[in-house]
Amino acid sequence: MKKFYILGLLLFIILINACGPEPDQTPKPDNMIAQDTLVMMFYDIHLIDASLTTNVVDPRGVYSRYNLYQSMFAKYNRNEDDFNETIRYYVLNDIEVLDDVYDKVLARLNKEQGELTQKLQEDI
């Protein structure tokens, strides 16, 4: 009997959520970052993180994570708020676009990794 009560409660909750009003769409931010720029920014973020993680650069002083990110934002004439608002918009309204952006970033990273691996093998 307890199973039927729990199952009924779950079905009730699902029906209430399914029949409820559509969630409000978050408006596009005023300084929304274009998708192609977002691809390049994510790519740069991965390079920054990789260089810090592998100790290619000393993360103290000039090469702190904060300074490197701020340099990256300046490179694209953007700031952290623009970036966060753009990501928030896509997460809440159009996650498929963000998936597509990230697929492009991964494709670029994988391509460059393959090219570097091939060059290293040729040099050996």
* Spatial CB neighbours of 98, under 8 Å, sequence gap ≥ 6: 87, 90, 91
Counted domains in the chain? 1
If 0-12 CB within 10 Å is exposed, 13-18 middle and 19+ buried, where does residue 9 land?
Answer: exposed
Domain contains 28: no
pLDDT digits (tens, 9 = 90+) for 52-75: 888 777 767 777 888 889 999 999
Domain contains 104: yes
Residue 78: name the closest of 18, 105, 38 by CA: 38
Instruction: Tell me the residue range of the domain where 40 lies.
Output: 33-123
Domain contains 85: yes
Kindly state the tokens that stand for 72.
Answer: 């990256």
Domain contains 70: yes
Domain contains 4: no
What's the CA gap between 27 and 46, in Å, rounded?
28
Kindly state the tokens that stand for 86.
Answer: 């753009």
Question: Are 95 and 53 in contact, with CB atoms under 8 Å apart?
Answer: no
pLDDT digits (tens, 9 = 90+) for 72-94: 999 999 999 999 999 999 999 98
Domain contains 93: yes
Domain contains 108: yes
Residue 87: name the closest of 46, 40, 28, 43 by CA: 28
Residue listed under structure tokens 């966060």: 84
Share of the chain above pLDDT 70, in %: 78
Query: What global pTM score does this model have?
Result: 0.74
